[in-house]
Every structure is written in structure tokens, then in C-alpha cells.
């Protein structure tokens, strides 16, 4: 049997590549106990953006995507993605995703921050990502060309003559296995888990990005990290449940401890202003010592049908969002930057492809529009898989070498790094703070791939002294006032 294409990661992007690559054999390699488990896709609440309403248009979706992205986007890529969206919704329905419909059978279209129209479809209310992952996994399990290997870490890439042609995986018992590949696809998701507060799962730690960069692939836009304004504020915890923006689309309002509306006078779209605007407003209020809460008590909705995930997460922590405002905090949510790829997902390293959040094709610009990420994962995953199904993949020639990720930071240093990045490279940055953090990362945090990735991200942020999109960098930021330190 010919060597497979190895796909590292099994969120919606990796799964879409796998399905579309038929009949080429693919091997899905993932960390979780099964495909899709532990992926950020599975946690995605927001939905899937598509101009489906007759009063809406692809052009309007394009315009909102470019505005959110601060016009830093690759315009051709944005046009392609938004034009794809309605057909991708229909395709997902054919694959078994039941998008929510009203009593008359019409798809329900919601609104989220930065959208000037109702164009977000959901499945199972705020459990959209889980519904899409479930459908794609079910399909993949029926496909003879898809094999899977779960519960393993990819710790090295094999290069032959400068071409990626295999991976080495580490099993739970520490044993290593080498796997030859016709090509390697990174679909490992983002790096939110390198920040002290994130809506991402623990596995979104940037390992795939760090490995690709170590192997010599070029990066793009690493400085652009999106902070979601409303994660459940659980002090001392890194991975926080998301409180979906769809709640604000349904009328919830951000208030401070005194009940004052936080977004009044800040932006014409109010509570539905682009995510970076809302996240900064929440962050600044917190830095002034004000509590921030999301008041969703006036929403007239069947919570169990529309917001089951948020309801369950809040109830688990003793908050009933139907009657009590929800304490919220910004949290690292999405990395717009990543492995630089072309429109098809080719990286600068022959044989290495990337797709989804780990990749950067420029579509999200400096700040992703809400609910464009599941869309990107499915559309770009399908595009790459279709390419791989047919393309001639030249056999790698030459001596084989292994490029290893290397050791990670010990737990204490990793926690310090997370605090450092949160303080210096969070929703509000300053050149001095970034410089300070870079020096600490280089000299004090210790050896580990997470520190190398943080250095690359901080250096990219320092090369952009002016604010753009989610990278908000001001000369004299008002807080934090204490000098940066890695100690707690």
C-alpha cells in the first residue's frame, strides 16, 4: 500500500481534508482519545457564517470580514471564502449536520459581533462545532481511505532533501513510532493555551505551529491573536468556558458591577461591536478594578434549546444565567497568524501543508470575524483535500533527517510564560511591555518549545509598533502599572 498523507489534528479542518482527499489514503493522527476530541472545533459555540438570507449578500459578508480584519486580509481569499459559505452549509447538511430551523422549517439565522446581517447558522443551539465534528467523524469512519491513530503526540517531522515526508509520534507509554508520508498536513489548531486565560482547550498549545517553524516553514502574522470578550471568569483557571457572542446577538448586555452598560458610547454597534473593541473595553474596565458581567437575564429564549452549553457551564459553577448576570473576562480565543500558506494550503516547506487555525492564508486579516472559523476550516480543508486527491506528490529524495519539537517547559515555567504573555501580549500591548517580555522569554523562562514560539510571537508583535485589528499596541498603556515579572 502506498504511504498515506498524514494529517495531524482532527478538528473540522483536518477531518475535511481527510474526507475530500478520497481515494488517496490518509492517516489522521490526533492527541485526543478519538477524532475531534480535545479540538477547539468541538467547543465552537458561535456557528457558521454564510449569507443565506435573501436580504443579505456575499458582498456584505465580504465587507464585514474585511472591516473586522482591519483591511489586512487577503481580499481574494475573503471573496472566495464568503462565496463558498452557502454551498458549504448545504454540503454539511447533506453530510448529516442538522442546522437549527424555525417552526416553518427555515434555517434560523443569528447575529454576532461585527456582522451587519443575521447570517450565522447554528446546530444544537450553541453546540455547532460539536455537531459538525460529529457528522464529519461519522463520515470519516465510513470511508475506507481514512485510517486514524489517536492518543499520540507528533514530536518530529521527517525531512528528505528539504521536503517533509513523515512524522514521528510518541505514544502514551513513551514509545516512538516513525510514519512515512507522501505529504504532511498540519491541522493542529491555535495556541490560545499559551495564555493565562483562554477559551481554547488545553491541546491548543501551538505545538504544531512550533514544530513547523522549527522545521523551517515560514510564519505569517504571528502577532495577531484574537481575545474573546466573554469567557466565564473563573479565577485561577486557564481554560475557561466560552460565553457565546450569540447571547449578545440575542440581546444580552455587558455591564459593570454598578450595572452601567459598558459599551454605551464606545462603538455604533454597541455590544455587537467587533470582538477586539469589546475585549479591550472589558479589559480596561477590569484594569480599573471594575467587575464585568454579561446580563443575559432579559433574553427571551429557550435556554436549553439555544444555549445549552453556556447554561450547563454556568450552572456547573453555581450561576444561573437566566436569573443572574454572568461574570466574564476576555480570553485568548483565536490565532489569525500561523504557518504561512497559499490559498490551497501549501507552506513554504515542500511536502508540508497547513489548514485551519494553525495556518495563515490571510483570510482573517488582523482580526477574525465571528463564526468565520468553522467556515474556514471546512472550506479550506475541503479545498486542500480536493487538491491532495489529485495532485502528483513527488517522492522525497536524499538523506533523511528528523526535525524534533524538543522538550516542553516544565509546568511551573509554563505557568509563568502564560502569565507573561497575558500581561504583555494580551488585549492591550505596549512596545516597552513587549520588549520586556521578549527579554524575559529569551533569558529567564528556560528552554522549551513554548518559549521559542512565544519569542517568535513577541518579536512579530514588536515589528508592528502601531495598532492594527486585534494587535492593540499603545505607547503608554494605562495598566498594568507593575513591571513585568515571571513570578506569580
Catalytic sites, residue numbers: 275
Q: Which residue, 336 or 414, has its beta carbon nearer to ligand SIN?
A: 336
Q: Where in 150-220 does DSSP place strands (E)?
A: 153-160, 163-170, 176-180, 183-186, 219-220
DSSP class of residue 113 equals T
Residues pairing with 107 in the sheet: 101
Task: Single out the segment in contact with ligand SIN by CB under 6 A; choices: 100-108, 152-160, 240-248, 260-268.
Answer: 240-248
Q: How far from chain centre, in Å, is Cα 98?
A: 23
- Phi and psi of 434, rounded to 5°? -65, -40
Q: Which residue, 152 or 378, has its beta carbon nearer to ligand SIN?
A: 378
Exactly one of 246, 336, 339, 409 binds ligand SIN (CB under 6 A); that residue is 246
**What's the rounded Cα separation, in Å, for the pair 7 and 27?**
6
Any contact of residue 41 with ligand SIN (CB under 6 A)? no
Neighbours of 297 (CB within 10 A): 14
Q: Which residue, 190 or 433, has its beta carbon nearer to ligand SIN?
A: 190
CB of 475 to ligand SIN, least distance (A): 30
CB of 372 to ligand SIN, least distance (A): 7
Q: Where in 135-180 does DSSP place strands (E)?
A: 146-149, 153-160, 163-170, 176-180
Cell numbers describing residue 431: 512596545
> What SS3 state is found at 241?
coil
Q: Which residue, 62 or 352, has its beta carbon nearer to ligand SIN?
A: 62
CB of 24 to ligand SIN, least distance (A): 31
Task: Single out the segment in contact with ligand SIN by CB under 6 A; choices: 64-72, 102-110, 256-264, 367-375.
Answer: 367-375
Cell numbers describing residue 480: 498594568
Angle at the Cα of 221 (from 215 to 224), degrees rounded to 5? 125
Angle at the Cα of 284 (from 278 to 286), degrees rounded to 5? 105
Any contact of residue 37 with ligand SIN (CB under 6 A)? no
Residues in the chain: 488
DSSP class of residue 226 equals E
Residues pairing with 208 in the sheet: none
Interaction pattern, residues 369-398, with ligand SIN; x per rule: CB under 6 A: -xx-x-------------------------
Any contact of residue 367 with ligand SIN (CB under 6 A)? no
Any contact of residue 245 with ligand SIN (CB under 6 A)? yes
**What's the rounded Cα separation, in Å, for the pair 396 and 413?**
38
Closest CA to 380 of 398, 397, 365, 360: 360
- Phi and psi of 425, rounded to 5°? -125, 25
> What SS3 state is found at 148?
strand
CB of 367 to ligand SIN, least distance (A): 11
Any contact of residue 114 with ligand SIN (CB under 6 A)? no
Q: Which residue, 245 or 276, has its beta carbon nearer to ligand SIN?
A: 245
Any contact of residue 309 with ligand SIN (CB under 6 A)? no
CB of 65 to ligand SIN, least distance (A): 12
Q: Which residue, 16 or 244, has its beta carbon nearer to ligand SIN?
A: 244
CB of 379 to ligand SIN, least distance (A): 15
Task: Single out the segment in contact with ligand SIN by CB under 6 A; choices: 58-66, 152-160, 244-252, 324-332.
Answer: 244-252
Task: Single out the segment in contact with ligand SIN by CB under 6 A; choices: 25-33, 61-69, 238-246, 418-426.
Answer: 238-246
Q: How many residues in the shown chain lie near ligand SIN by CB under 6 A?
A: 9
Q: Which residue, 188 or 244, has its beta carbon nearer to ligand SIN?
A: 244
CB of 485 to ligand SIN, least distance (A): 31
CB of 167 to ligand SIN, least distance (A): 29
- Phi and psi of 92, rounded to 5°? -65, -35
Any contact of residue 12 with ligand SIN (CB under 6 A)? no
Exactly one of 4, 46, 274, 345 binds ligand SIN (CB under 6 A); that residue is 46
The H or E element spanning position 51 is none
By Cβ distance, which residue is nearest to ligand SIN? 46
Q: Answer whether 180's CB lies under 8 Å from 313's CB.
A: no
Strand order in the sheet with 338-340: 219-220, 338-340, 359-360
Residues found near ligand SIN in the complex (CB under 6 A)? 45-46, 242, 244-246, 370-371, 373
Amino acid at each position: 500500500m502506498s504511504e498515506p498523507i498524514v494529517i495531524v489534528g482532527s478538528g473540522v479542518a483536518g477531518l475535511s481534508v481527510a474526507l475530500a482527499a478520497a481515494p488517496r489514503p490518509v492517516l489522521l493522527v490526533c492527541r485526543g482519545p478519538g477524532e475531534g476530541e480535545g479540538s477547539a472545533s468541538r467547543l465552537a459555540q458561535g456557528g457558521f457564517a454564510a449569507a443565506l438570507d435573501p436580504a443579505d449578500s456575499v458582498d456584505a459578508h465580504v465587507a464585514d470580514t474585511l472591516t473586522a480584519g482591519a483591511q489586512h486580509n487577503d481580499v481574494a481569499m475573503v471573496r472566495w471564502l464568503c462565496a463558498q459559505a452557502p454551498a458549504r452549509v448545504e454540503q454539511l447538511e447533506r453530510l448529516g449536520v442538522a442546522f437549527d430551523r424555525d417552526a416553518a422549517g427555515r434555517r434560523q439565522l443569528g447575529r454576532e459581533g461585527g456582522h451587519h446581517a443575521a447570517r450565522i447558522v447554528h446546530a444544537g443551539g450553541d453546540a455547532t462545532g460539536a455537531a459538525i465534528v460529529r457528522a464529519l467523524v461519522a463520515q470519516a469512519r465510513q470511508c475506507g481511505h481514512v485510517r486514524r491513530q489517536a492518543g499520540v503526540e507528533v514530536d518530529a517531522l521527517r525531512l528528505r532533501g528539504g521536503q517533509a515526508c513523515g512524522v514521528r509520534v510518541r505514544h502514551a507509554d513513551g514509545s516512538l513510532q516513525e510514519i512515512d508520508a507522501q505529504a504532511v498536513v498540519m491541522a493542529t489548531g491555535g495556541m490560545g493555551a499559551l495564555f493565562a486565560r483562554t477559551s481554547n482547550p488545553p491541546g491548543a498549545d501551538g505545538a504544531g505551529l512550533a514544530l513547523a517553524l522549527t522545521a523551517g516553514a515560514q510564519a505569517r502574522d504571528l502577532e495577531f491573536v484574537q481575545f474573546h470578550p466573554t469567557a466565564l471568569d473563573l479565577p485561577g483557571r486557564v481554560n475557561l468556558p466560552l460565553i457565546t457572542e450569540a447571547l449578545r446577538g440575542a440581546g444580552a448586555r455587558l455591564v459593570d458591577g454598578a450595572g452601567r452598560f459598558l459599551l454605551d458610547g464606545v462603538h455604533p454597534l454597541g455590544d455587537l461591536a467587533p470582538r477586539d473593541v469589546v475585549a479591550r473595553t472589558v479589559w480596561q474596565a477590569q484594569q480599573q478594578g471594575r467587575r464585568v458581567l454579561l446580563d443575559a437575564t432579559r433574553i427571551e429564549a429557550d435556554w436549553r434549546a439555544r444555549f445549552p452549553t453556556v447554561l450547563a457551564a454556568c450552572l456547573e459553577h453555581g450561576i444561573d444565567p437566566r436569573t443572574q448576570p454572568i461574570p466574564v473576562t476576555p480570553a485568548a480565543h483565536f490565532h489569525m497568524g500561523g504557518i504561512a500558506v497559499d490559498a490551497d494550503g501549501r507552506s513554504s516547506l515542500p511536502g508540508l501543508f497547513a489548514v485551519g487555525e494553525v495556518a495563515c492564508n490571510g483570510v482573517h486579516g488582523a482580526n477574525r470575524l465571528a463564526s468565520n472559523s468553522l467556515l474556514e476550516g471546512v472550506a479550506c480543508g475541503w479545498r486542500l483535500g480536493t487538491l491532495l486527491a489529485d495532485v502528483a506528490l513527488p517522492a522525497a529524495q536524499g538523506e533523511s533527517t528528523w526535525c524534533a519539537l524538543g522538550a516542553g517547559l516544565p509546568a511551573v515555567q509554563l505557568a509563568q510564560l502564560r502569565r507573561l504573555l497575558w500581561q504583555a501580549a494580551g488585549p492591550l500591548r505596549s512596545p516597552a511591555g513587549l520588549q520586556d517580555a521578549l527579554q524575559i522569554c529569551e533569558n529567564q523562562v528556560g528552554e522549551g518549545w513554548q518559549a521559542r514560539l512565544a519569542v517568535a510571537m513577541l518579536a512579530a508583535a514588536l515589528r508592528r509598533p502601531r495598532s492594527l485589528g486585534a494587535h492593540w499596541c499603545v505607547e503608554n498603556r494605562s495598566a498594568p502599572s507593575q513591571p513585568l515579572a515571571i513570578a506569580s
